[in-house]
Structure 1
């Protein structure tokens, strides 16, 4: 009989395993049964930690957020522009690390209060630049919504870096749409060069915040 002891099953271990499996199966294929099998336990054991799959997704999104914050260098002296740019670049990088990462993150409810300290710091930077709290919330939420939406679309074409879904060949698309030259040419801007696409869109969002609220 083996005397090897397994690590105790806890929320963190379950979420870590789920995030790892996510890259193999995608969100649709991620089941509690598959996660339990990977952990070598029966599926009901997971219900001691998560009441349903959405509760697990909430914990996965929270862990993604923790890793995003750990990998993003923020400075209390950041300008409001620098802070919006840094936070959303970090968010995109974190989401791209997982197949369907943006779908998992979108609409999830953070567990615990890990995010509150960082949200407080971001809001202090924005309100310190002259925004009201409501304006700061609108600015941050709009930038975040842009980032999550962008990555959702990006992962619809490239589920993971280096992968590309069938049916998104830009040259083939241009050939089919030859009768619509502007729309055909737009394919290179829509389905290639995602880093540049993201930066241009984020710059538009930040410029819009500045223009809307009269920030220098």
Structure 2
């Protein structure tokens, strides 16, 4: 009788399983015990690879970043404005591919240096546009934080593409806030047209960098 062996348990398999489960159970439901059950192993087996859930989230965010940069394909001669647009669009698209993607990505630490090449190119482009290194860092991190915050709010309404949470009926909200006409009308802008609003927000960030630092 031949016994079928399970695939070798390694970091890559654990992370792939965790990312797949994330879309099913969300960040709150993603526990090491849940992942171990899916892998048909005991939870302690995961501690050989990840000392705690945060270490796993760090690796998950790193893998998400690898996938995002593979899709970004920023030309070497791109301007700093083009780099911000392409990088943040790729980040948003990548985060939207996972339930609670923005929450997973926020506050994590990359476990590799895959991000260094893009970071170097972005900072160099900003320095060539006349910024100092501290200013370039503030410019790039402001764009990053805008995207993370925007997607976190977007996923509060649309946890996954095509899956809308209850409680975001714009007309019902407007009726409840009829005594506050401006706030009532704002709902149509706050909870809809995310693609258009994201693009406009990025343009505002870029315009702010240009105006504040005189970037060309």
Q: Does the alignment reach a TM-score above 0.5?
A: yes
| Structure 1 segment 6-155 matched on structure 2, within 5 A | 6-155=6-155
Checking the alignment, whether the CA contact within 8 Å between 2:126 and 2:215 is kept in structure 1 is no
Q: How many angstroms apart in 2 are the aligned matches of 1:2 and 1:156?
A: 49
Cα displacement (A) at 1:4: 2.8
- Structure 2 stretches of 5 or more lacking a match? none
Cα displacement (A) at 1:180: 1.1
Q: How many angstroms apart in 2 are the aligned matches of 1:7 and 1:123?
A: 42
TM-score (norm: length of structure 2): 0.97
1:212 matched residue in structure 2 = 212
Q: Between Structure 1 and Structure 2, how many residues are aligned?
A: 216
2:163 is aligned with 1:163: yes
Q: How many angstroms apart in 1 are the aligned matches of 2:60 and 2:170?
A: 34
Checking the alignment, whether the CA contact within 8 Å between 1:154 and 1:194 is kept in structure 2 is yes
C-alpha change, 1:196 and 1:6, in structure 2 (3 Å) is same
**Which 10-residue stretch deviates more, 65-74 or 118-127?**
118-127
Q: How many angstroms apart in 1 are the aligned matches of 2:141 and 2:199?
A: 17
Q: How many angstroms apart in 1 are the aligned matches of 2:170 and 2:38?
A: 38
1:191 matched residue in structure 2 = 191
Q: How many angstroms apart in 2 are the aligned matches of 1:119 and 1:132?
A: 15
Q: How many angstroms apart in 2 are the aligned matches of 1:5 and 1:133?
A: 53
Structure 1 residue runs of 4 or more that deviate by more than 2 Å after TM superposition: 1-7
Q: How many angstroms apart in 2 are the aligned matches of 1:13 and 1:2?
A: 24
Cα displacement (A) at 1:6: 2.8
Cα displacement (A) at 1:2: 4.3
CA RMSD of aligned residues (A): 1.0
Q: How many angstroms apart in 1 are the aligned matches of 2:6 and 2:209?
A: 51
Deviations 1:42-90 (A, max 9, x none): 1100000000000000000000110000010111111110001110011
Cα displacement (A) at 1:186: 0.6
- Structure 1 stretches of 5 or more lacking a match? none
